[in-house]
Amino acid sequence: MKAAEFDPACQACPRLSGFLREVKGQHPDYHCRPVAPFGDSAARLLVVGLAPGMHGANATGRPFTGDHAGILLYETLFACGFSTAPVSMQMDDGLQLVNCRITNAVKCLPPQNKPLGSEIRECNAFLQQELQSLPPASVVLALGGIAHRAVVAAMGKRQVDFPFAHGAEHDLAEGKILLDSYHCSRYNTQTRRLTPLMFRQVFERAKQLLR
């Protein structure tokens, strides 16, 4: 697998590109294209999510913007000093990230928010490039198991050596630390599998590692 620059016109996955065309027909004003990473290009914290949400990033064109999962994420980023505002609603709202960038393991909206393994692998070249571009002594914060496994694959590591667990830390070498968190999805927050305090503690740990 070769690293690749993000391609806003990518149509490498037929199922995803076809689904995006369907959604665009239903919602003509939605972004409905691959969603670019958002944030500081020189950031030492890279937050990796799963994929754009139907009425969130797929609509707005910015990761975790406009959907339920983004509520807790941007509140926490602001509380920990990684964002200039606690609410992210649209591309032109003026919010900026500080020493932080947000991306997704899969850049296009998948049906039922469930990408296929082949789609995750196809998109992994973009994630690999993002990881290679990180400065020394960086932290990669994976939101959920799929994002975690995508990071491990992009770094060329063995999955068995890097088990996912909330709050777990993994040395990726090359001066990079992988930090795990449960995904800030509606299901996880409503069932209290992930509480605001748990999420805040992970980001506070990221701050400590960056120091």
Asked whether residue 137 is assigned to any structural domain, the reply reads: yes
Give the chain's domain count.
Answer: 1
Asked whether residue 70 is assigned to any structural domain, the reply reads: yes
pLDDT in tens, 42-101: 999 999 999 999 999 999 999 999 999 999 999 999 999 999 999 998 999 999 999 999
**Is residue 118 packed enough to be buried (19+ CB in 10 Å), middle (13-18) or exposed (0-12)?**
exposed
Asked whether residue 7 is assigned to any structural domain, the reply reads: no
Asked whether residue 2 is assigned to any structural domain, the reply reads: no
Question: Any idea what the CATH number is for the domain that residue 110 is in?
Answer: 3.40.470.10
pLDDT in tens, 152-208: 999 999 999 999 999 999 999 888 999 999 999 999 999 999 999 999 999 999 999
Asked whether residue 5 is assigned to any structural domain, the reply reads: no
pLDDT at 2 over 80: no
SS3 156: coil
Distance between start and end Cα atoms, the chain? 32
Whether the Cβ atoms of residue 39 and residue 102 lie closer than 8 Å to each other: yes
**Is residue 40 packed enough to be buried (19+ CB in 10 Å), middle (13-18) or exposed (0-12)?**
middle
What is the C-alpha separation between 11 and 26, in angstroms, rounded? 19
What is the C-alpha separation between 180 and 176, in angstroms, rounded? 13
Q: Residue 9 has what DSSP assignment?
A: T
Q: What is the pLDDT of residue 8?
A: 95
User: Which has more pLDDT, 170 or 4?
Assistant: 170
Asked whether residue 93 is assigned to any structural domain, the reply reads: yes
Asked whether residue 201 is assigned to any structural domain, the reply reads: yes
Asked whether residue 3 is assigned to any structural domain, the reply reads: no
Q: What is the mean pLDDT of residues 141-149?
A: 98
80: containing domain: 14-210
Encoding tokens for residue 133? Answer: 């571009």
Q: What is the pLDDT of residue 1?
A: 59
Cβ atoms < 10 Å from Cβ of 200: 15
